[in-house]
Amino acid sequence: MLAIVCPGQGAQTPGFLSPWLEDDAFATRFEWLATVAGIDLVHYGTEADAETIRDTAIAQPLLVAAGLVTSLALFPSPADAFPMIGVGAGHSVGEITAAAAAGALTAEQAMVLVRERGRAMAEASAVTPTSMMALIGGDADEVLAAIERHGATAANHNGTGQIVAAGTVEQLEALAADLPRRVRGMQLSVAGAFHTEHMAPAVSHLDRLTRAISTHDPRVRLLSNRDGAVVHSGREVLDRIVGQVARPVRWDLCMETMADLGVTGLLELPPAGTLTGIAKRNLKGVELFKLNTPDELEEATAFVHRHAEPSGGEELHNNPAWRLVVSPGKGQFERTEGLEPGSILPPGSTVGTVANSRGESAVEAPRGGVVVEILAEDGDPVSPGQALVRLHPTAESTGHTEVTR
């Protein structure tokens, strides 16, 4: 099974787009997305220095545009690509890249959203001097205790050996002077305490704006940074992206879901290296590919075909005749009492729960419908993205687009 992942802020490096922009087709697509964002991303991706592209309002649109256009270079025909991709995910702002690549948002919607996200987070960061620091090594419980002791937040849980702390400059300085044994601190190239309460004003701004965005259900399994769950409703994908600005990134749980799904190959879109580095420590036995330059496309394509399952995403394709409700994660399924073939479900109805060692998750049918078939029985063990209930759309839920709230 193939996983495609999209990096987050801090992955950018000066000039990383230069070799890509030598191709006219790539350059034209990239310039279009830069025009939509109203930012000179060509300059920032080729000529600007490290300090300039550290700016949140620049870095975030730059990363999303780079990921979207390089994904088209890898998959020139997205419709043909969807069945090949077993799962997609993005780290932090990379969730926007992944959502657009999976068809939940258009590329233009993604660029406007990330522009506003970057600006709002930059403004929130300017209120109080804040930053982020990666804590590498040591005992996880000791690291979390030290972060809490100094009033900071564990903003990114990146799996074995890496937790990212975020907070005020003073909090991080105190933490750096009081690190647990065998722990090394590394300052990150970001300009604020992302994924913490410091970003609450940005969440409010984005929540208001995104009420005007229409969405589509993703065409591949899409994982959420909140809890590693498979999210199959476009509206929920967008709502989670907004809320995640002020919530910790649980990339560790995303990797757990990839392992549960049986991922065999993980390809990271440019600028690649951060997520494959984390995966190397956490997804043992999974083949990794860092795509960074156009001359690697032929090898990347071979990697994709080596790990793709031709029918991998087929059951998630939008189909006007029926829809599937899928499991958000691994666990034991319990069906809602009274749910039977022929039941008519209003939008947002709960069809059951999936319970595991991390707790219990409700399984909802976002747009409702008529129950055609129940595909999992009470007590059945289920995996992430597994189809649980097949629904026939009602008149109120027809169409592929979820309009404003």
Q: Per-residue pLDDT tens for 316-334?
A: 544 445 788 999 989 999 9
- Out of 3.40.50.300, 2.40.50.660, 3.40.366.10, 3.90.1170.50, which CATH number does the structure's domain 2-124+197-307 have? 3.40.366.10
Stretch (H or E) spanning 27:
helix 24-37
DSSP H or E run through 2: strand 2-6
pLDDT at 44: 97
pLDDT value for 395: 53
**What digits encode the pLDDT tens for the residues 211-232?**
999 999 999 999 999 999 999 8
Q: Could you read off the pLDDT of 276-288 as tens digits, one per residue?
A: 999 999 999 999 9
Is the pLDDT score of 398 beyond 50? no
Q: What is the per-residue pLDDT for 225?
A: 97
Q: Please indicate whether residue 305 is annotated as part of the active site.
A: no
| Alpha helices per DSSP H over 75-196 | 78-81, 94-101, 107-127, 140-149, 169-176
Q: How confident is the model at residue 74 (pLDDT cuts 50, 70, 90)?
A: very high
Mean pLDDT calculated for residue range 245-252: 97
Q: Considering only the top CATH level, what class is 126-187?
A: alpha beta
10 Å CB burial of residue 30 (0-12, 13-18, 19+) is buried
Give the 3-state secondary structure of 242-284. HHHHHCCEEHHHHHHHHHHHCCCEEEECCCCCHHHHHHHHHCC
The mean pLDDT of 279-307, rounded to a whole number, is 96
- Structure tokens of 375? 């595909």
| Active-site residue, selected from the candidate residues 92, 125, 131, 349 | 92
Structure confidence by residue, pLDDT tens digits, 34-53 = 999 999 999 999 999 999 99
Q: Which residue has the higher pLDDT, 55 or 403?
A: 55
Residue 313 pLDDT more than 80?
Answer: no
Can 195 be counted among the known catalytic residues? yes
Q: Which of these ranges, 166-180, 237-251, 371-385, has the smallest mean pLDDT? A: 371-385
* 3-state SS string for 324-379: EEECCCCEEEEECCCCCCCCEECCCEEEEEEEECCEEEEEEECCCEEEEEECCCCC
Show Cβ contacts of residue 315 under 8 Å, excluding neighbours closer than 6 positions. 324, 387
Mean pLDDT of the chain: 91
**CB-based contact 160:197 (threshold 8 Å):** no
pLDDT given at position 189: 72
Mean pLDDT to the nearest integer, 77-94: 91
Q: Which percentage of the chain shows pLDDT scores above 90?
A: 77
Q: pTM for the whole thing?
A: 0.86
As a CATH number, domain 319-402 is 2.40.50.100
At 320 the pLDDT is 47
Q: What's the CA gap between 312 and 322, in Å, rounded?
A: 18
Residue 14 tokens, joined: 């000066």
The active-site residue, picked from 91, 150, 195, 198, is: 195
- Ranges of each domain in the chain: 2-124+197-307, 126-187, 319-402
Q: Which two tokens stand for residue 67?
A: 């990921």
For the chain, percent of residues with pLDDT exceeding 70: 94
Yes or no: say if 2 and 308 are a contact pair by the CB < 8 Å rule: yes
pLDDT of the residue at 368? 87
